[in-house]
């Protein structure tokens, strides 16, 4: 299960040392109107350094669950030296307005469209776990707070006490604050939902929060400096994205859906097919078999499903340990975390 996998990975990785890396969200030029395909997948040869997939996710500015989707036959804790890792850095933009912040829960990514700039910044995120889900909404940033303190909600306090953990009334700003150094409050939901940093770096890219959206420290710092008060924020949950590109090629990007109960298996759980996606599948220019394969594999990156032959896209170069892709670089809060 996507949730169970997140929790088990978190438990094991807690025991593994992971040095902070200077990786930031990846910038992509915006495609022209009518196109949604950005970036390209990369290949990384695992060095003989004893590192795990969490290290690779951090190095390339992606999330651990995205890497696991793309590399479903690789040991996440001890990838074999010399094994080829697919970095899922090609994606389809969500079918939403290219404005402000767009968060797709199913892919654990945040898209930020800087106003007046022909680019999109893509960040890996952590989201709400089962039973404490991050809700879908269209809202805006209502408050920007540096060096936030954290006041646990009554529900969080009760859950912690049930586990034998007594939380303080207020956690002051500092290295032990679970909100990190920056927080963006969302207007909807009474202001209880935040986009914030974290003091548990490995939680980014997983379902572990109490409903808020977590970013790595350098990412929330960058987003905080750019996203203005009043910025539009749209949160969606779309495990399937699809596109007909300007050259006629057709693509499907399928992510494992979020678990809705403890026994869900996101690799086999059914995914609802919208009317528009049904028309895309039934169109004679789509290869239905290729679509079915993409829906079954759920690799988390775009797969071409064109029904007619077309030139193969060029492959990205292999990335070595020293050849990573270029990347960019006091308030009191009460809310879910």
Per-residue pLDDT at 2: 56
Per-residue pLDDT at 264: 85
Contact 302, 252 (CB under 8 A): yes
List C-alpha distances in Å: 213 to 23, 34, 176: 19, 29, 18
Half-sphere exposure (CA, 13 Å, Cβ side) for 273? 11
**CATH number of 97-236: 3.10.20.740, 3.20.20.70, 3.40.190.10, 2.40.440.10?**
2.40.440.10
Per-residue pLDDT at 13: 36
Burial status of residue 244 (CB atoms within 10 A of its CB: 0-12, 13-18, 19 or more): middle
Per-residue pLDDT at 315: 43
Cα separation of the two ends of the chain: 22
Determine phi and psi for 243, rounding to 5 degrees. Answer: -155, 145
Kindly report the pTM of this predicted structure. 0.83
Per-residue pLDDT at 331: 39
Residue (of 120, 87, 92) closest to 106 by Cα position:
92
List C-alpha distances in Å: 92 to 222, 253, 259: 23, 7, 22
Half-sphere exposure (CA, 13 Å, Cβ side) for 258? 24
Question: Would you state the structure tokens that stand for residue 84, as one six-digit string?
Answer: 């080829």
* Domain locations in the chain as residue ranges: 97-236, 240-304
Whole-number Å distance between alpha carbons of 260 and 31: 34
- Over its length of 337 residues, how does the chain's per-residue pLDDT go in tens digits? 454 444 444 443 333 333 333 445 789 999 999 999 999 999 999 999 889 999 999 999 999 999 999 999 999 888 999 999 999 999 999 999 999 999 999 999 999 999 999 999 999 999 988 888 899 999 999 999 999 877 767 677 777 777 777 776 677 777 778 888 999 999 998 888 999 998 788 888 888 887 899 999 999 999 999 999 999 999 999 999 999 999 999 999 999 999 888 888 999 999 999 999 999 999 999 999 999 999 999 999 999 999 974 444 444 444 433 334 443 333 334 445 5
Contact 298, 255 (CB under 8 A): yes
Per-residue pLDDT at 67: 95
Per-residue pLDDT at 121: 98
Per-residue pLDDT at 313: 43
Q: Which sequence positions are flagged as catalytic?
A: 196, 212
In the beta sheet, which residues pair with residue 151? 334
């Amino acid at each position: 299960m996507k949730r169970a996998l997140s929790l088990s990975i978190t438990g094991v990785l807690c025991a593994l040392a992971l040095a902070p890396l200077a990786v930031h969200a990846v910038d992509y030029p915006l495609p022209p109107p009518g196109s949604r395909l950005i970036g390209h997948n990369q290949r990384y040869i695992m060095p003989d350094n004893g590192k795990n997939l969490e290290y690779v996710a951090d190095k390339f500015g992606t999330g651990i669950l995205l890497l696991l989707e793309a590399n479903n036959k690789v040991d996440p804790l001890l990838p074999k030296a010399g094994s080829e890792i697919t970095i899922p850095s090609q994606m389809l933009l969500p079918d939403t307005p290219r404005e402000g912040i767009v968060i797709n829960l199913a892919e654990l990514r945040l898209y930020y469209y800087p106003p007046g700039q022909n680019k999109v910044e893509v960040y890996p995120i952590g989201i709400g776990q089962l039973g404490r889900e991050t809700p879908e909404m269209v809202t805006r940033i209502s408050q920007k707070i540096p060096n936030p303190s954290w006041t646990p909600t009554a529900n969080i306090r009760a859950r912690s006490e049930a586990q034998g953990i007594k939380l303080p009334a207020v956690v002051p700003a500092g290295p032990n604050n679970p909100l990190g150094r920056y927080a963006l409050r969302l207007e909807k939901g009474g202001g209880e939902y935040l986009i914030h940093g974290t003091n548990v770096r490995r939680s980014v890219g997983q379902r572990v929060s109490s409903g808020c959206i977590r970013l790595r420290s350098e990412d929330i710092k960058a987003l905080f400096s750019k996203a203005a008060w009043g910025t539009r924020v749209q949160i969606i949950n779309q495990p399937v994205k699809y596109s007909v590109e300007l050259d006629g090629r057709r693509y499907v990007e399928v992510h494992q859906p979020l678990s809705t109960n403890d026994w869900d298996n996101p690799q086999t759980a059914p995914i609802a097919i919208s009317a528009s996606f049904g028309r895309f599948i039934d169109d004679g220019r789509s290869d239905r078999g290729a679509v079915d394969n993409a829906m079954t594999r759920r690799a988390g990156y775009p797969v071409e499903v064109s029904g007619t032959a077309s030139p193969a896209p060029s492959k990205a170069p292999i990335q070595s340990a020293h050849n990573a892709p270029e990347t960019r670089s006091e308030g009191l809060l009460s809310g879910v975390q």
